Structure 1
Amino acid sequence: MSRLSRSLTLAAVSLAAIVVAQGGAQAGAFAIREQSASAQGYSFAGAASGSGNLSSMFWNPAVITMAPGWQTELSLSLIIPRVDINPLPSVPTFVFGSSGDIGQDAIVPASYNSYQINDMLWVGLSSTSPYGLVTDPRDNWAGQVYSRSSKIFSLNVNPVVGIKINEWISVAAGPSLQYFDIRLKRAAAVTPGAPSVTLDGDDIGFGFTAGVTLTPFAGTTIGIGYRSQIDHELEGTVTSPAGRIPISSDLTTPDQLTIGISQVVTPALTVHAGFEWTNWSVLKTPLVVGPGGAVVTDLPLNYDDGFFYSLGFDYKLTDQLTLRAGVAYEESPIDTEIRSTRLPDNDRIWASVGASYQWNNKLSFDIAYTHIFAKETDIRILPGHQDYEGLPFVADVNSDVDIVSVGLRYRWDDPVVAIPAAPIVRKY
């Protein structure tokens, strides 16, 4: 099999793996941060400066120039959320009970491929699922007029070209093709057994990624990466007891800026830090339009921007085994003024540990575990709230998340091994 054929086969397998998976949002709002098993071990500290090895391409494509030869990295994350919405006794529908656990376990795969053409030029391809959400309360519960099930699925393919300008600066950029699918369901009435109203829509949109890495001093790497907004013109239907009508809606996924720094402290110890800004405020309130341009409903989002701060380190215990750990604080784009029963998100703390094992000079494995501690959360859908439909709904939310990720990296070509210089033989 030729190198080109093998690369195309790897891309097809990666795409197939992502298509069969359902993503669970475990970054702010409905984003999925779990794109790298190695970076997760640091709580994604330094993800833009290469702490995630090749998978750092997701945050900063310029890190591709740090991967010599021909490489592939695959990761698989199991997300286990627990989210319960418990209405207060003052809620008129309190008798219908709590939501039950609305969190749905999810498996999120990602794949990355890079090929070094020469000393200056690299090409690569990533296949990821940057957005996803699955929440599924009991069909009959106190908040059913605000939500039954919710599902968001995405697939993003991103080819990139990286250029190593000199020993201290590299740049990269590439287009993104993104499939986005949404399905939202709610009850048509407060009574148990009421029929559902369902909104479906999907679209393919285009954007880009770009980035730069800087190495101002030996042992210091700074990375800056950007993922653009992607406009989606969703086409689909609204299905209700009255029938089904075609609809459309314009929705824009946010752009994102990530900054990372990695500093070698000793030959065994490296410290990483990261900052991430996500422009969630671009979402606003998309209108859902039916035949003839009539507004059927809207999707009131109106999120704030999201921020993520992280700090981590790795320690090379042996030539083969590297240990890592990290913590992060995430400012959610959702607060009590707009918090919904579909996505009761809030600020949270990440705590992670991980390890890498270098099996040989071609193959290595990664594993990581994260626990997310959510801030005390409440829902207050009262007059003036953007979701208010005439039914006051006040509830407390209990939530936490466990994430386990595994990954592997493989180098397809033979690494160049430095040959010691022959001893100088002098003849006298």
Structure 2
Amino acid sequence: MTGGTTRAITIAGIIAASIGATTDVQAGAFGLREQSTQGLGLAFAGAASGAAGVSSIFWNPATVTMRPGFTSEQSLTFVNLTGEIRPTVGTAPFLLPFGDSGEIGQGAVLPAGATSYQLTDRLSLGLQTGTPFGLVTKPRPDWAGSVYGRSSRVFSLAFNPVIGYRVTDWLSIGVGANIEYFRLTLRQAIPVPGLSPALYPPSFVKGESWSVGWTAGATITPWDGTVLGIGYRSSVHHDIDGSIGFPNPALANVFGSIRANLNTPEKLSVGLTQAINPVTRINLGFEWDNWSRIGDIGIVSNLTGTTVSHLPLNFKDSYFYSVGLEHDWSPNLTVRGGLAYEDGPIDTSNRSVRLPDGDRIIASVGASYRWNDKLTLNASYAHLFVGKNRILAGPGRNFDVGIPFAAIADVSADLVSVGFRYAWDSPASVAPAPLVRKY
């Protein structure tokens, strides 16, 4: 095998591993639900039936009709991811002395907001903004798995303008657009034969994309005290344009810039809110994300127009189940709590050092305080249990740069969210809200 051929195969492996991690971070279990402080306090139970406040628009655009007048809501959620990846037997022996990842977690603040405006008794407009995908992980630079990941940074932003119509007193429908942007930067080491892993040179992959999808939903209120909601977010097709950086600029010219097609999964959300008595409500939630549509992704060189690698990610669909309880402690204070379980899209067959994720349990608490007739303050806390999961990479695996790597990842996260809701209208200028909940 010639030196040029060997070099081309090595670079193809680097590209495959790097972009494989890209799609993992963007479209794997790091999809983000943190669109609402109020929703987080319920572990997102009943989000599609309006229990997440104005921000329920994210799950179901028909909920925009549930609030009269002109109302805005803002949330800030701090995500404190903690985790460590420890190499085990099965890792190439020359990598083991370089040890574990150290703390891979990086704190991130996720902003989100929503506004609803009632045009007529039946017609309402809304806008929801948030971060549907993204996270930051950063292990030690020269750890045992550096050839599979040194850092991952993903940023996304979505704008969801919606319109809702109250068809009857018991049925509302809504539709909208999902305008989505994301940007990413991924770094890892390049394995060089004969060189100590501590001296492996760095590489990076960058890419970004704008694209548009759509959303639709309905709410049904068969009788007072009961709301059933169902919402749908379409797949968004992203044409990712990217670039590759190497220590030797000449290496980047082997394939030039790259592109990849990625279809995000559809999301189906179902929520039920049921009043137990005038001051207590139970909320149920279910979400299905069609992650299995992300199978084999081709990576194409813009320079040659050829596919330089395939990414057999083979995610499975994810299912999210949640239950939450709200209680009006007083006319001005509502307390809530929730519990959820997610059967996620990542398992041992496709878990990477950039995304050491697995099935999740979420436990949460929260409260809303009505400061005055216009302003309501919200706060929530949640703990995300992921636990220990096995990582396998290398020959015969989805992520392969020609070096065997095996590890145990231990990951969890704490989430703290604060927000507010503000009614811009004078209380006397709007009609009473046909809402099950008070806050």
Q: Same fold (TM over 0.5)?
A: yes
Are 2:146 and 2:189, in contact at CA under 8 Å, matched by a contact in 1?
yes
> What is the rounded CA distance, in whole Å, between the counterparts of 2:126 and 2:234 in structure 1?
18
Range that drifts further, 292-301 or 267-276: 292-301
1:235 to 234, 241, 244: 241
Structure 2 partner of 1:345: 357
Structure 2 partner of 1:68: 68
> What is the rounded CA distance, in whole Å, between the counterparts of 1:115 and 1:349 in structure 2?
35
- Correspondence list, 1:188-267, <5 A: 188-189=190-191, 191-240=197-246, 241=248, 242-243=251-252, 245-267=256-278
2:279 to 265, 268, 284: 268
- Correspondence list, 1:2-401, <5 A: 29-91=29-91, 92=93, 93-189=95-191, 191-240=197-246, 241=248, 242-243=251-252, 245-290=256-301, 291-401=303-413
Letter in 2 for 1:202: E
> What is the rounded CA distance, in whole Å, between the counterparts of 1:383 and 1:193 in structure 2?
23
Q: Secondary structure at the match of 1:292?
A: coil
Are 2:387 and 2:412, in contact at CA under 8 Å, matched by a contact in 1?
no
Q: Secondary structure at the match of 1:95?
A: helix
> What is the rounded CA distance, in whole Å, between the counterparts of 2:310 and 2:343 in structure 1?
26
Q: CA deviation at 1:264?
A: 0.2
Are 2:27 and 2:264, in contact at CA under 8 Å, matched by a contact in 1?
no
Q: Secondary structure at the match of 2:292?
A: helix
> What is the rounded CA distance, in whole Å, between the counterparts of 1:314 and 1:177 in structure 2?
33
> What is the rounded CA distance, in whole Å, between the counterparts of 1:52 and 1:247 in structure 2?
40
Letter in 2 for 1:166: T
CA-based RMSD: 1.9
1:129-184 deviation digits (Å, cap 9, x = unpaired): 10112111111110111111112211111111100111100001111111122222
> What is the rounded CA distance, in whole Å, between the counterparts of 2:180 and 2:429 in structure 1?
40
CA 1:389 to 1:267, structure 2 compared with 1: closer, same or farther past 3 Å? same
Letter in 2 for 1:272: N
Q: CA deviation at 1:200?
A: 1.2
CA 1:27 to 1:175, structure 2 compared with 1: closer, same or farther past 3 Å? closer
Q: CA deviation at 1:35?
A: 0.6
Q: Secondary structure at the match of 1:386?
A: coil
Range that drifts further, 89-98 or 333-342: 89-98
Are 1:323 and 1:355, in contact at CA under 8 Å, matched by a contact in 2?
yes
CA 1:177 to 1:26, structure 2 compared with 1: closer, same or farther past 3 Å? closer
1:212-245 deviation digits (Å, cap 9, x = unpaired): 0000121000000111100011112112232352
> What is the rounded CA distance, in whole Å, between the counterparts of 1:299 and 1:101 in structure 2?
28
Letter in 1 for 2:290: N
Range that drifts further, 394-403 or 82-91: 82-91
1:414 to 416, 422, 426: 426
Letter in 2 for 1:109: P
> What is the rounded CA distance, in whole Å, between the counterparts of 2:409 and 2:378 in structure 1?
33
CA 1:418 to 1:230, structure 2 compared with 1: closer, same or farther past 3 Å? closer
Range that drifts further, 283-292 or 363-372: 283-292
Letter in 2 for 1:317: W
1:267-287 deviation digits (Å, cap 9, x = unpaired): 111000000001111222322
> What is the rounded CA distance, in whole Å, between the counterparts of 2:383 and 2:69 in structure 1?
35
Q: Secondary structure at the match of 1:416?
A: helix
Are 1:28 and 1:330, in contact at CA under 8 Å, matched by a contact in 2?
no
Q: CA deviation at 1:89?
A: 4.9
> What is the rounded CA distance, in whole Å, between the counterparts of 1:26 and 1:55 in structure 2?
22
Q: Secondary structure at the match of 1:265?
A: strand
> What is the rounded CA distance, in whole Å, between the counterparts of 1:231 and 1:183 in structure 2?
20
Q: Secondary structure at the match of 2:304?
A: helix
- What is the aligned-residue identity percentage? 45
Are 1:27 and 1:33, in contact at CA under 8 Å, matched by a contact in 2?
no
> What is the rounded CA distance, in whole Å, between the counterparts of 1:30 and 1:374 in structure 2?
12
> What is the rounded CA distance, in whole Å, between the counterparts of 2:313 and 2:101 in structure 1?
21
> What is the rounded CA distance, in whole Å, between the counterparts of 1:269 and 1:26 in structure 2?
38
Are 1:69 and 1:415, in contact at CA under 8 Å, matched by a contact in 2?
no
> What is the rounded CA distance, in whole Å, between the counterparts of 1:285 and 1:152 in structure 2?
21
Q: Secondary structure at the match of 2:146?
A: coil
Are 1:356 and 1:367, in contact at CA under 8 Å, matched by a contact in 2?
yes
Are 2:232 and 2:267, in contact at CA under 8 Å, matched by a contact in 1?
yes
> What is the rounded CA distance, in whole Å, between the counterparts of 2:130 and 2:388 in structure 1?
31
Are 1:38 and 1:356, in contact at CA under 8 Å, matched by a contact in 2?
yes
Q: CA deviation at 1:69?
A: 0.1
Letter in 1 for 2:211: G
Q: CA deviation at 1:250?
A: 0.8
CA 1:90 to 1:305, structure 2 compared with 1: closer, same or farther past 3 Å? closer
Q: CA deviation at 1:381?
A: 2.2
> What is the rounded CA distance, in whole Å, between the counterparts of 2:200 and 2:310 in structure 1?
22
> What is the rounded CA distance, in whole Å, between the counterparts of 1:28 and 1:368 in structure 2?
25
> What is the rounded CA distance, in whole Å, between the counterparts of 1:331 and 1:259 in structure 2?
16
Q: Secondary structure at the match of 1:213?
A: strand
Q: Secondary structure at the match of 2:64?
A: helix
Q: Secondary structure at the match of 1:30?
A: coil
1:347-367 deviation digits (Å, cap 9, x = unpaired): 111000000001111100100
| Structure 2 length-normalised TM | 0.87
Letter in 2 for 1:58: F
> What is the rounded CA distance, in whole Å, between the counterparts of 1:73 and 1:299 in structure 2?
40
Q: CA deviation at 1:196?
A: 1.8
